[in-house]
């Protein structure tokens, strides 16, 4: 099964649209740079839309969705809402069902449609860095982002990746997603990581900021390409170590930019999203946070 294609965009430059509303939801929502990227993109596209951050966890999500009135174009969802939203919306894309979550909800003609742009963002960032045929891969972590990584790896022809977690029970989500995606995964604990790395073409860390620091040296010596999805503490220790080894590094900021650009395409119905403006906004936001 291939990844379901997103809805076809009818025009790259439609007539000027009336002001709409959109938001990013999550807990803690302040960690996300999505709002900064979306605001920059909407401004560059000439759309005077309102955009806000909404602090929201799983228990609050049904109430928040029920309270949305007219004028909403859609929502971006952060953790931990990507899975919790599935039973609360009208339609879910095939890809969203496969990976077990969506990060975008679009409102069209009175119905809500859920889509995942994380896989698109990962694939685009990897291809941009020249990672197109890694052959084999090791995924650190077994949660929602790891599920998207497995879908992206399938598109790159990696059908038997290794998933490394602290305890095997933590890989249940990724193992279930692999079954829906039609691929196989080998589950290991971090104690086996050094034995897995020789010969690996790619290491994808889906761990939170600092979570992969302890493995930086081992990954560096493997010379594998490295993709660290973290944006809040970029560049991470893992990425720095890989860079010293001369390994290919996939930018977690590029992942955030490309997935946000695809979100804006879905929310606005336009294909002229200015990726360069989003990238500048990401760099400015990360510099602001570093001050």
Tens-place pLDDT, residues 72-110: 999 999 988 999 999 999 999 999 999 999 999 999 999
What value does the mean pLDDT take over residues 198-210? 95
- Residue reference for tokens 């709002």: 35
> Per-residue pLDDT for 64 more than 90?
yes
> Per-residue pLDDT for 19 more than 90?
no
Q: Check residue 233 and give its pLDDT.
A: 80
> Per-residue pLDDT for 201 more than 70?
yes
Q: Check residue 9 and give its pLDDT.
A: 45
Structure tokens at 271: 């294909």
Domain annotation for the chain: domains and CATH numbers: 21-116+255-290 (3.40.50.10860), 130-250 (3.40.50.720)
Query: How many angstroms separate the CA atoms of 97 and 93, rounded?
Result: 6
Q: Check residue 18 and give its pLDDT.
A: 57
Query: How many angstroms separate the CA atoms of 209 and 218, rounded?
Result: 18
Provide CB contacts within 8 A for 3, sequence distance 6+: 94, 95, 98, 119, 151, 154, 155
> Per-residue pLDDT for 4 more than 50?
no
Residue 14 pLDDT class (50, 70, 90 cuts) = very low
Q: Check residue 290 and give its pLDDT.
A: 83
Tell whether the torsion through CA atoms of 247, 209, 162 and 98 is positive or negative: negative
Q: Contact at 8 Å (CB) between 76 and 22?
A: yes
> Per-residue pLDDT for 120 more than 70?
yes
Maximal C-alpha separation, the chain: 57
Between strands 21-26 and 186-189, the pairing is: unpaired
Provide CB contacts within 8 A for 219, sequence distance 6+: 197, 203, 212, 226, 238, 241, 242
What value does the mean pLDDT take over residues 7-19? 47
- HSE toward the beta carbon, residue 188, CA cutoff 13 A: 18
Which of 28-37, 93-102, 280-289 has the highest mean predicted lDDT (pLDDT)?
A: 93-102
Between strands 111-115 and 186-189, the pairing is: unpaired
DSSP code per residue over 56-72: --TTTHHHHHHT--TTE
Residue 31 pLDDT class (50, 70, 90 cuts) = confident
pLDDT digits (tens, 9 = 90+) for 222-262: 999 999 999 888 889 999 999 999 999 999 999 999 999 99
> Per-residue pLDDT for 291 more than 90?
no
What value does the mean pLDDT take over residues 259-270? 98
> Per-residue pLDDT for 70 more than 90?
no
Task: Please state the separation of Cα 287 from the chain's center in Å.
Answer: 21
User: Nearest Cα to 73, choosing from 265, 254, 261?
Assistant: 265
Q: What's the whole-model pTM score? A: 0.91
What value does the mean pLDDT take over residues 131-155? 97
User: Nearest Cα to 13, choosing from 58, 52, 46?
Assistant: 46
- From residue 138, alpha-carbon distances to 192, 211, 224 in Å are 11, 15, 10
> Per-residue pLDDT for 192 more than 80?
yes
């Amino acid at each position: 099964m291939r990844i379901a294609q997103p809805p076809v965009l009818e025009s790259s430059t439609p007539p000027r649209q009336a002001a709409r509303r959109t938001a990013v939801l999550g807990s803690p929502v302040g960690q996300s740079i999505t709002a900064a990227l979306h605001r920059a993109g909407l401004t560059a596209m000439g759309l005077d839309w309102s955009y806000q951050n909404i602090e929201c966890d799983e228990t609050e999500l049904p109430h928040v969705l029920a309270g949305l009135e007219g004028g909403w174009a859609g929502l971006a969802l952060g953790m931990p809402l990507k899975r919790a939203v599935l039973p609360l919306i009208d339609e879910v894309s095939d890809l969203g069902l496969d990976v077990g979550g969506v990060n975008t909800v679009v409102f069209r003609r009175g119905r809500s449609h859920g889509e995942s742009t994380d896989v698109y963002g990962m694939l685009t960032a990897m291809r941009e860095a020249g990672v197109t045929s890694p052959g084999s891969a090791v995924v650190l972590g077994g949660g929602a982002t790891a599920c998207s990584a497995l879908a992206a790896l399938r598109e790159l022809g990696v059908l038997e990746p290794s998933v490394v977690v602290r305890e095997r029970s933590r890989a249940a989500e990724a193992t279930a997603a692999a079954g829906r995606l039609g691929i196989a995964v080998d589950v290991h604990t971090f104690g086996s990581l050094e034995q897995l790395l020789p010969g690996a073409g790619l290491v994808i860390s889906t761990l939170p900021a600092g979570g992969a620091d302890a493995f930086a040296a081992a990954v560096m010596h493997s010379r594998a390409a490295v993709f660290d999805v973290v944006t809040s503490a970029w560049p991470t220790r893992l990425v720095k170590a890989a860079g010293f080894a001369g390994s290919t590094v996939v930018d977690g900021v590029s992942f955030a930019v490309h997935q946000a650009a695809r979100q804006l395409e879905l929310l606005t119905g336009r294909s002229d999203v200015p990726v360069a403006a989003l990238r500048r906004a990401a760099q400015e936001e990360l510099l602001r946070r570093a001050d």
